[in-house]
Structure 1
């Protein structure tokens, strides 16, 4: 086991000219992608798979602490992995409980729903206010510039993960906002595997939004049909 962990921490893919990618970073993002795929399909296993990826990426973004070749620390990126794990435990529990009471034919764990307008406004306010509050904190801790971008990614990730746990369709759009800021930040910090994955995530999250939107619309149409043409075999007992 010790040898496996040593390999996992030291292994990297080297390129001509001195460039490299850490296998931990690659594997962490692969687990993250699998988790996103499970989230799109509304499967409970998306949460534990995501937790594994979060644990791997936590060690990557605290490069100097864990002896990674990349000396750049992205505190927001590292901190959000801890946040991911905590919120994912909540999401895992919520989806598992919802699946037990679900009557969906595809055994999905959650039924997508639109957030109310007060919730939408609250999410937007929380994103900007949280970024403003976290920026000086991350600056004091020595995070990588531009620090507001690191704070934005942290807050957006928190809100998107919570939105996914609640089954709000809009959580996919929050991920898009995270990816738009995250790609240039990760490229500038030298985390190329994560940067390329963020580009793919951006396209993936847009797809996820339309998939959940379609499921929500189909559920609404089924409800309208059932309301207009109730099952004649069902009787109401007084």
Structure 2
């Protein structure tokens, strides 16, 4: 068995549960990408794309004949969405990368954008829920749709440098953990729970960066 076949088929057995190693590895890449986003490094995007490609195959369990035959269409579809938005973010951050390695200056999105994001979360979930249900996604389908829409908006917000994107991730994690547990994707559920704490730290970190930047700008103006 070559390394690719091993990564695709190998499982970790815990009790009576089988967890795909590519689910673990894919989520590991996702965690590394989140860390890169916290540090505002360009490499966060290509690392995330690798994880997205692996997790796409994981969440179409019935299609790829995995030990977990549950299809989470929102989870699978969002991996493709991630790849598309990540390419945009990769190009944008690379273009604006500074000499210190930071690729984006955190900023508030503003109330108009916040309202648009909130309406987008609710409206997108309502729109996609019946579509995902018709395609056979796992119940509760609204949760899968919520995660799909929120993931897109959070990734787009990260590419734009909006500090609020961390809060969108928290909203995604709160719904994602119970959904993934009920669907039997335990490795992903565990990582989502960790993400919930990590994203809160990321939110506080980006706020501190904003305060330092504002203080430095004020000193420059005063001088």
Q: What is the aligned counterpart of 1:219 among 198, 213, 223?
A: 213
1:140 partnered with 2:134: yes
Which of 110, 125, 136 in structure 2 is aligned with 1:131? 125
Q: Identify the residue that residue 37 of structure 1 maps to in structure 2.
A: 35
Q: List aligned pairs for 1:140-159, cutoff 5 A.
A: 140-159=134-153
Residues 164-197 of structure 1: CA deviation (Å, up to 9, x unaligned): 0000000000000000000000000000000000
The secondary structure found in structure 1 opposite 2:2 is helix
Residue 15 of structure 1, CA deviation: 2.0
CA distance in 2: counterparts of 1:183 and 1:159, whole angstroms: 19
Is the CA contact 1:175–1:202 (under 8 Å) kept in the aligned structure 2? yes
Match of 1:160 in 2: 154
Q: CA RMSD in A?
A: 0.9
| Structure 1 residue 9 displacement after superposition | 1.6
1:5 is displaced (CA, Å) by: 2.1
Gaps of 5+ in 1: 230-238
- Listed one character per residue, the Cα deviations across residues 93-115 of structure 1 (whole Å, up to 9, x for unaligned) are 0000011xx36xx3200000000
TM-score normalized by structure 1? 0.92
Shift, 1:152, TM fit:
0.1
Of the three residues 83, 86, 108, the one matched with 1:85 is 83
For residues 80 and 170 of structure 1, the distance between their equivalents in structure 2, rounded to whole angstroms, comes to 20
Alignment partners' CA distance in 1, 2:121 and 2:156: 13
Partner of residue 55, structure 1: 53
Shift of 1:8: 1.3
Q: Distance in 1 between matches of 2:17 and 2:71?
A: 18
1:174 pairs with 168, 174, 177, which one?
A: 168
Which protein is bigger by CA-based radius of gyration?
A: 1
CA deviations on 1:144-173 (whole Å, 9 max, x unpaired) are 000000000000000000000000000000
Alignment correspondent of 1:232 = none
Figure out how many residues of one structure are paired with residues of the other and give that number.
223
| CA shift for structure 1 position 71 | 0.5
CA–CA distance in structure 1, aligned partners of residues 132 and 96 of structure 2? 37
Quote the offset at 1:6 in angstroms: 1.6
Residues 178-187 or 64-73, more deviating? 64-73
Q: What does 1:100-139 align with in structure 2 at a 5 Å threshold? A: 102=98, 106-139=100-133
For 1:107 and 1:151, the matched residues in 2 are separated by 35
CA contact (8 A) 1:187 1:195 kept: yes
Quick one: which of 18, 21, 40 aligns to 1:20? 18
How far apart, CA to CA, are the structure 2 residues paired with 1:125 and 1:215?
28
TM norm structure 2: 0.98
